[in-house]
Amino acid sequence: MKIIMVPVSSINGKITKGNDPNIYKWTSDEDKKLFFSMIARNNLIVMGSKTYEAARHIIKLKKNKLRVVLTRNPAKYAKRIVKGSLEFSSETPLDLVRRLEKKGYSKMLMIGGREINSLFLKNGLVDELHLTIEPFIFSTGRDLVADDNFNISLKLIKIKKLNAKGTLHLRYKVNY
């Protein structure tokens, strides 16, 4: 399965501004347009529970588009399950990928936060990183990855300037 990680960050690698999980307060309209076009083109989207909680008010569930929320406590979300559209899982990233491949999925868009990003990267599962960098520096916020011990090399595939302000969209191949 091809797995594409899709984060947005400040220039100094913060994926949130301080403790506020709402990235739409500081990300550009151009990034939002790009991100939602990627969501529209992909039928498998995986995120962590913090990302889900921050975005659930804008998530539009659609038939034939599965969203999987990784959480340590799937039972907490039992009433929110929508068969075929929204599920909650405590599987390891590798077990999740294997299960979804058996169901016929061949591509995954990963829009999780730092814990999910780290889990998938640490397990060698991410094929590409599509990173939008917004021209901000935040003194506090969540980092792109958790404080895990790993080093990963990337190769730039494409760079695109999204607006006059300097928002950049970078596509990287992940080399393990």
Q: How far apart are CA 91 and CA 155, in angstroms?
A: 29
- pLDDT score of 150: 82
pLDDT, tens only, 96-133: 999 999 999 999 999 989 999 999 999 999 999 999 99
Radius of gyration of the chain (CA): 16
CA–CA separation, 136 and 160 (whole Å): 17
Give the Cα separation of 144 and 155 in Å (integer).
Answer: 18
What percentage of residues in the chain have a pLDDT greater than 70?
Answer: 100
Is the pLDDT assigned to residue 3 strictly greater than 90?
Answer: yes
CA 19 vs. chain centroid, Å, equals 18
pLDDT band of residue 166 (cuts 50, 70, 90) is very high
pLDDT, average across residues 24-50: 96
Mean pLDDT of the residues in the chain = 95
- Please give the pLDDT value at position 35: 96
Here the tokens at position 158 are 């494409």
What would the two tokens of residue 100 be?
Answer: 């979804």
List of residues 6+ apart from 151 with CB closer than 8 A: none
Residues in the chain: 176
pTM of the model: 0.94
| Tokens linked to 34 | 């790009």
